[in-house]
């Protein structure tokens, strides 16, 4: 069964096309990297899978049913917000905040719900963060807590929206390895969006590359080619492989890096609002 199915999907924000006539299928237990130029629609695509952005034409099905808000089988990790770092909450209360019937700061949870929070923290190796205030956690530690939130409720599909933003290479590797480990351990499907392909190379089953309202889904060797990316970027692209890394080049410039060089230092540029502006 397809976990995500797009049929002739058209998505628009503010009257601007984001996707036009896209067909795609993501299967069970796949780890799919979602890439593309800034504003190509990576966040919008995830929000459409969540039922938050209805298509203007076409159909989106998730786990065999039409995409709809509040699907408990879909876990979502939004882009890290600076505001999280200033929340006066412990790690445990932050994760518990997404449990039904819970209100932030009021831990009136039953035994089963409290066990669910502990389970999610254990899955991401964050039990040691449970009693620490968010104000005393690093960016990588907050990403683990956000991932624990997304795992509440035993989702079958996990959407991770730019979790590598603002992390150094060491913490990027740790996040990718954790996501891949969870995908295998839990038998779930993962969509993982990122600015750059290289941090994901060891984890990917397939890549979904977006650009110019179009999409290409396939293996790295099928999608990361000059002809395919030239179509998605709308300009001549060369793909260069060096020492196990892949560089997407436009002339003498790294197209993936240059496209995001205006991002804010704290990594907030890629918010859904920014995507809506650029898309």
* Average pLDDT score over residue span 128-132: 94
pLDDT tens digits, 193-205:
999 999 999 999 9
Percentage of the residues of the chain whose pLDDT score is greater than 90: 75
**Helix, strand, coil proportions of the chain in percent (round to 5)?**
35, 30, 40
Q: Measured between alpha carbons, how far is 138 from 85 in angstroms, rounded to an integer? A: 8
Q: Measured between alpha carbons, how far is 26 from 68 in angstroms, rounded to an integer? A: 17
Percentage of the residues of the chain whose pLDDT score is greater than 70: 88
Residues 6 or more apart whose CB falls under 8 angstroms from that of 78 comprise 146, 161, 272
Distances in Å between the Cα of 203 and the Cα atoms of 61, 176, 213 are 25, 7, 26
Distances in Å between the Cα of 192 and the Cα atoms of 18, 142, 197 are 19, 17, 11
* Average pLDDT score over residue span 61-71: 96
pLDDT tens digits, 219-263:
999 999 999 999 999 999 999 999 999 999 998 788 887 654 433
């Amino acid at each position: 069964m397809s976990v995500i199915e797009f049929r002739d999907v058209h998505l628009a924000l503010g009257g601007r096309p984001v996707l036009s006539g896209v067909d795609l299928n993501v299967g069970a237990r796949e780890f799919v990297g979602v890439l593309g130029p800034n504003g190509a629609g990576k966040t919008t695509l995830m929000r459409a899978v969540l039922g938050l952005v209805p298509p203007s034409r076409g159909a989106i099905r998730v786990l065999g049913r039409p995409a709809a808000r509040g699907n408990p089988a879909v876990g979502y990790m939004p882009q890290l917000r600076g505001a999280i770092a200033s929340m006066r909450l412990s790690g445990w209360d932050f994760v518990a905040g997404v449990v039904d019937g819970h209100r932030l700061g009021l831990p009136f949870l039953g035994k089963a719900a409290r066990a669910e929070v502990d389970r999610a923290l254990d899955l991401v190796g964050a039990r040691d963060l449970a009693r620490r205030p968010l104000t005393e956690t690093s960016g990588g530690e907050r990403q683990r807590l956000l991932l624990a939130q997304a795992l509440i409720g035993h989702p079958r599909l996990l959407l991770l929206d730019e979790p590598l933003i603002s992390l150094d290479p060491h913490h990027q590797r740790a996040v990718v390895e954790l996501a891949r480990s969870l995908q295998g351990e839990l038998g779930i499907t993962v969509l993982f969006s990122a600015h750059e392909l290289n941090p994901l190379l060891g984890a990917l089953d397939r890549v979904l590359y977006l650009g110019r309202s179009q999409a290409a889904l396939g293996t790295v060797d099928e999608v990361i080619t000059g002809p395919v990316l030239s179509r998605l970027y709308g300009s001549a692209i060369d793909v260069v492989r060096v020492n196990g890394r892949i560089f997407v080049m436009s002339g003498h410039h790294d197209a993936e890096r240059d496209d995001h060089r205006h991002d804010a230092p704290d990594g907030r540029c890629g918010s859904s609002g920014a995507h809506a502006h650029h898309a």
